Structure 1
Amino acid sequence: MSKGAGLEVGEASKVAAGANRGISILDFVFRIVAGASTLASAIAMGTTNETLPFFTQFIRFRAEYDDLPTFTFFVVANAIITGYLVLSLAFSILHIVRSGATGTRILLAILDTAALGLLTAAASAAAAIVYLAHKGNTSANWFSICQQYNSFCERISGSLIGSFVAIVLFVLLIILSALAISRRR
């Protein structure tokens, strides 16, 4: 009876290690996709500008992302998150090789939560400005600029999509980390 029980425990630990390895591979893929998403968002927002001619060719109106500090914060936050995700890939590879590493999983869960907070703050602030650019606010005499600066608005809206995709991926990364840690305990 003890031989059978020992085999069952050994098989159960192999199954758990295999499941944790699968979680680690999914974690690695999510980090790559989130990093690409935040990098694309930072590049799209950081290179956004549009110039409109006024009555003559010497007078022009120009819209750039750095005209608004919120968009600058958005670009910097996305760049920081991209850097963090690139650095965290080393821990993710470690988790694939050593599926039982719990300390680094806890560290990544904490850092992922902080990164999620920063990215959510930046994307939400930028989303508020993008909304004003599209809709305006007649009560405050803020007019919509997207009718004039169409490509500018399309690019800043597109860059928000990338950040919100990364936010969803961070939520999934935190859930995966919690799942892997709970399987280990």
Structure 2
Amino acid sequence: MKNESTIIDVPAESSSAMKGKAPLIGVSRDHATTGSGGYKRGISIFDFLLRLAAIIAASVAAATMFTSDETLPFFTQFLQFQAGYDDLPSFQFFVIAMSMIVGYLVLSLPISVVTIVRPLAAAPRLLLLVLDTAVLAFNTAAGSSAAAIVYLAHNGNQNTNWLPICQQFGDFCQKTSGAVVSSFITVVFFTILVVLSGVALKRP
């Protein structure tokens, strides 16, 4: 009897096809990573621009309130009525708080630049998220306390016999009102910054 051998032919295409599939997976992952880094870099650039805008708004708020002194001109030099931010603790707190917020925003710019250079890094973005949230609460407190005094200056309070003073101190009330509005614009910027940081921390 003759020994018969069975030979099974393996198509050469199967091994090459299997080898060809592996790079496709790597390429798809590279495209996903590149796309994620692209939109996160865009968020970081927008974050940096918002911080510059917030610096301007907070600086205007602090400077306007700081220069809100007014003296009524129709009294003698021995008897004058004067209104200034330093006469009210809430306005003093407002000026100090907005100045500190400007300082924080300036110091946060290098960290924002880091998020542009390394858009996939989570640590600097998380640090900005925590600090921005704390400063947002601080900014809201300063603006709200000043807004309450501005409201009394415009409308007074009949129950406590507090008379409105804005008819006499028009420039003073105009400047303090503008400072409060500018501070709440800064609050809006901080709110957007916090949302952007949360979106950037989300995994692709």
Both structures adopt the same fold (TM-score exceeding 0.5): yes
Verify: 1:156 aligned to 2:176, yes or no: yes
- When normalised by structure 1's length, the TM-score is 0.96
What's the counterpart of residue 121 of structure 1? 141
Q: Deviations over 1:113-138 (max 9, x none)?
A: 11001110000000000000001001
Give the C-alpha shift of residue 78 in structure 1. Answer: 0.2
SS in 1 for 2:121: coil
Verify: 1:105 aligned to 2:142, yes or no: no
What's the counterpart of residue 77 of structure 1? 97
- CA RMSD across the alignment: 1.2
What's the counterpart of residue 144 of structure 1? 164
What's the counterpart of residue 10 of structure 2? none
Q: Which amino acid aligns with 2:102?
A: T
Q: Aligned residues, how many?
A: 184
Report which of the two structures shows the higher radius of gyration computed on alpha carbons.
2
1:162-177 equivalences in 2 (<5 Å) = 162-177=182-197
Assess if the C-alpha contact under 8 Å between 1:54 and 1:61 holds in 2: no
* Mean Cα deviation higher: 174-183 or 67-76: 174-183
Verify: 1:3 aligned to 2:16, yes or no: no
Assess if the C-alpha contact under 8 Å between 2:47 and 2:196 holds in 1: yes
Q: Which amino acid aligns with 2:89?
A: P
Separation in 2, partners of 1:74, 1:88: 21
- When normalised by structure 2's length, the TM-score is 0.87
The structure 1 segments of at least 4 consecutive aligned residues displaced by more than 3 Å after TM superposition are 53-58
Q: Deviations over 1:27-46 (max 9, x none)?
A: 00011101111011000001
Q: Paired residue for 2:35, among 5, 12, 15?
A: 15
Assess if the C-alpha contact under 8 Å between 1:71 and 1:126 holds in 2: yes
Separation in 2, partners of 1:54, 1:157: 24
Verify: 1:86 aligned to 2:106, yes or no: yes
Assess if the C-alpha contact under 8 Å between 1:53 and 1:59 holds in 2: no
Report the identity percentage. 49
Separation in 2, partners of 1:56, 1:104: 58
Separation in 2, partners of 1:132, 1:101: 48
Assess if the C-alpha contact under 8 Å between 1:42 and 1:75 holds in 2: yes
Separation in 1, partners of 2:166, 2:28: 64
Q: Paired residue for 1:134, among 148, 154, 160?
A: 154
